[in-house]
Amino acid sequence: MVVTGLGAVTPLGNTRDEFWRNLVAGRSGVGPVTSFDPRDLDTKIVAAVKGFDSDTLIGRREARRMDRYTQFAFVAAREAFEDAKFPVNDRETLDLTGVVLGTGIGGISTLEDQVTKARQLGTVGRISPFFVPMLMANAGPAQISMAYKLRGPLFAVSSACASANDGIAIAYDNVARGACRAVVTGGSESAVNDVAMGGFDSMKALSKRNAEPEKASRPFDRERDGFVLAEGGGILILEELEFAKARGARIYAEMLGYGQSADAYNLVAVDPTGGGVELALRRSLAYSGLEAEDVSYINAHGTSTPIGDPAESKAIASVFGDAVSTVAVSSTKSMHGHALGGAGGIEGVATVLAVYHDIMPPTINYEFPDPECTLDYVPNVARRATVEVALSNSFGFGGHNCVLVFRKYRE
């Protein structure tokens, strides 16, 4: 199984290359909320996608029939197809190409817009006929499938902030069992609106570092005070190796496998012992036939929350034992924030590029070491080093844990 194409729409840039350049440069995509008035919220900062003109990128008529989450997925998928030089005119291949997309919430912006409209008009009789098709969580993968006439397995995965990683894992299974030659996979989310942000704000889950937005997301740092809500999407083209080689595709990395588990602990709080995360990490290595010392880099879930970061650190330290001194761990959420169900797609792109370019993105805003977080977090500056094997961690409300495994491709 290999990755041949990548696409990204993120707070750090609306193309794969722009995203990667800003990631390696250690830039922050966090700033003040501008899409609505946050005066009633304690948190007034967000990592929003900027300069995204859907009418230009998609076309006015089609864009107006897509929720913003779907728009991100659609544009990122197009970039990934172009990057992969995928044979979009080969009917047999398209019949064996699927789409599996993760999203935690789906079309919540459409839901808010239409509920607001109904209340303003005093009737539900004027709700848009496109309301349901735009709201559906499966609208994103469906739009991609229709645009490219892909007739392989098609569905959405929703497991909170682990959605994209779980989607990529299912995509892997579909190629492994021969149901597909290729799968378009990843995740997308757009929940930067007053209702969604208000919900997280009332949970006291968000950072309140409003005066210094660019320093608000600080995973593993002692002064962290919550995550920064983000939006965006990341798409990977996953192909069967022999098919990719036969068509002369450029290969970014192999995908070796994945590990999944449940915390079975709490609906919204991570198990502070890191027990569920530890299981997912161990299962990912076992599935992939690897030992801990084989791993070079981990793109951590690292959300910048007081409980989550130490739990993840404990789990990594337990699994890697003596080898923990040789593995680097960083959280790119320090730069692009937390895009919920889309996070694993964005971070999957980042992890594959780290393997391909032999560059470990940094954890920015790492200023004050936390005695509960004692790993090598690639502080503040990207690191050039051979990345032979990399893991990408994603964990979600409900206790969902999923770890993906990528390895440098060699003939």
Q: Please pick, among 180, 338, 373, 400, the residue that the annotation labels catalytic.
A: 338
The question of whether 400 is a catalytic residue gets the answer no
Phi/psi region, residue 117 (left: phi>0; alpha: psi -120 to 50; beta: rest), is alpha
180 given a catalytic annotation: no
Catalytic residues: 161, 301, 338
